[in-house]
Amino acid sequence: MPGSLFRTLFLIACAWQLASTLMLHRRHLPATVKPGYRVASLTHWGQRYSIDDPEMRNYFSVLSNGDVITSSDISSLEDQRLTIPVLNSLASKSWMEMLHVEVSSSEHILHFPRDLYEGFVSENLPPGAIIEGISDLHAVGGGSHEIHYAITAGATDLFTVVELSGNQVQIDSRDVLDREHQSEYMLTLRAKAKHDQPTFTKIRIIVNDTEDNAPVFEKQEYDLVIPDTTPLSATVLRPKVHDPDLGELTFTLDDPLDVFTINAKTGSVLLSSVLPLTAQSYKMTVNVEDPAKHRVSALVRVVIEGATDDIMHVRTRREVRATKHVEVPENYNMGNLLDLDNDFYERFHFRPPAPEKLDLNTVTGVVRLKPGEKLDYEETTEVDFIIVITRTDNPSYILISE
């Protein structure tokens, strides 16, 4: 018999036995509690709930998990004894649970001001670390001046109660916590006094990340084969990185030829310059760093497909403009050295290595001296460079001009 069918039949059988039974619950409730305060938690088997009294529906609601909560201010009900009928429905069966609530002055009932507290603690701290954010955790009211606390549900092996003066209480860790193992815990804390009914509250403890784990590349080495006709800005690598701490990662690239660039946030590697003709293969490194400065690297071996040491061989595969010769006087330091013919779609780039003293306008193709530079005959008698021309309307088009 399928598991789901067996479970349904079992629940129906349970409901059948309970159908004529009134289940009773008794609670004392301070008149000062806020809307959303949990009055009781009914046993949940998958049934639907509804409050079977229009008057009580003005003050109370039942959540789908069986929690009965206040839905409005109940201060007007002080010193009253209420009966809240909760109708349970499962399949074709139904039964009633009666919740008897005595609303009294807060001074007369031992209670926690809130039914849920949220605290936090950093992971990897030694045992005895104090849970922060719950300094107001304590029970009030009732007729006794001595209140004792205990954790009655949750990770009692990981947390302990420390009773302070003035009926204050704090929660300490009993062991080292690891966020990657478990990021939060829910505890039930009981307060009990000699002449009062015990009262309970919930404590949610969030374990904060301390970036104690370094990110990890999916692969330690990558092999790239890049055709020498690859268009600029093409993405050639998207390395995958796993960070257990889920921190913000920063990527960098060590490229000895400065041919590629990397997106610092995503790690995508893009072609940013014209591929060199003289380098058939070389190595570069992709690095990633997390906020805690954990830095790891992956090796990238690059093979340029079609590259050769013979530049003339490349010229047979591409259109080549004639070599241009420009003569300038010594100590020349102004004006344009070269203005290439161009059209709207052409873009210009120096083939590495670019001349140190020259600038190239990537749109117009104008070559000129960098500001503050001049040409010195004693330093060098000529400057040779190659300009590669691509087209934005045809990424596969490559033109070489010397």
Specify which of 106-115, 287-296, 345-354 reaches the highest per-range mean pLDDT: 287-296
Looking at every residue in the chain, the average pLDDT score rounds to: 82
The token pair at 336 is 């344009």
Average pLDDT over residues 397-402: 56
pLDDT of residue 221: 94
311 pLDDT band, cuts 50/70/90, is: very low
The answer to whether residue 84 scores a pLDDT higher than 90 is: yes
The answer to whether residue 320 scores a pLDDT higher than 50 is: no
How does pLDDT run across 328-339, given as a tens digit for each residue? 676 666 667 777
Q: Which residues contact 159 (CB under 8 A, 6 or more apart)?
A: 131, 151, 171, 172, 173, 174, 185, 187, 205
Average pLDDT over residues 256-271: 92
More confident residue, 150 or 291: 150
pLDDT of residue 7: 62
Radius of gyration for the alpha carbons in the chain, expressed in angstroms and rounded: 38
List residues bridging with 116 in a β-sheet.
202
pLDDT of residue 86: 94
pLDDT of residue 310: 40
More confident residue, 323 or 260: 260
The token pair at 354 is 């670019």
Average pLDDT over residues 367-385: 80
Average pLDDT over residues 51-66: 93
pLDDT of residue 318: 39
Coil, helix or strand at residue 401: strand
Q: If we measure between CA atoms, which residue out of 171, 178, 85 comes closest to residue 131?
A: 171
Q: What angle do CA 101, 102, 105 make, to 5 degrees?
A: 135
pTM for this predicted structure? 0.45
Neighbouring CB atoms inside 10 A of 277's CB total: 22
Average pLDDT over residues 153-158: 92
The answer to whether residue 8 scores a pLDDT higher than 70 is: no
pLDDT of residue 400: 55
pLDDT of residue 114: 85
More confident residue, 24 or 229: 229
Average pLDDT over residues 298-323: 58
Do residues 358 and 384 touch, judged by C-beta distance below 8 A? Answer: no
* Domains of the chain as residue ranges with CATH: 18-108 (2.60.40.60), 116-208 (2.60.40.60), 216-305 (2.60.40.60), 318-401 (2.60.40.60)
The answer to whether residue 360 scores a pLDDT higher than 50 is: yes
The answer to whether residue 297 scores a pLDDT higher than 90 is: yes
Do residues 214 and 293 touch, judged by C-beta distance below 8 A? Answer: no
pLDDT of residue 308: 46
Average pLDDT over residues 53-64: 94
Least confident among 137-141, 211-215, 272-276, 341-345: 341-345
pLDDT of residue 1: 47
The answer to whether residue 377 scores a pLDDT higher than 80 is: no
Average pLDDT over residues 54-76: 93
More confident residue, 199 or 157: 157
The answer to whether residue 41 scores a pLDDT higher than 80 is: yes
325 pLDDT band, cuts 50/70/90, is: low
More confident residue, 166 or 327: 166
Helix (H) / strand (E) element for 12: namely helix 3-18
The tokens 């507290």 sit on which residue?
Answer: 117
Do residues 62 and 53 touch, judged by C-beta distance below 8 A? Answer: no
For 253, counting Cβ atoms within 10 Å of its Cβ (0-12 exposed, 13-18 middle, 19+ buried), the class is buried
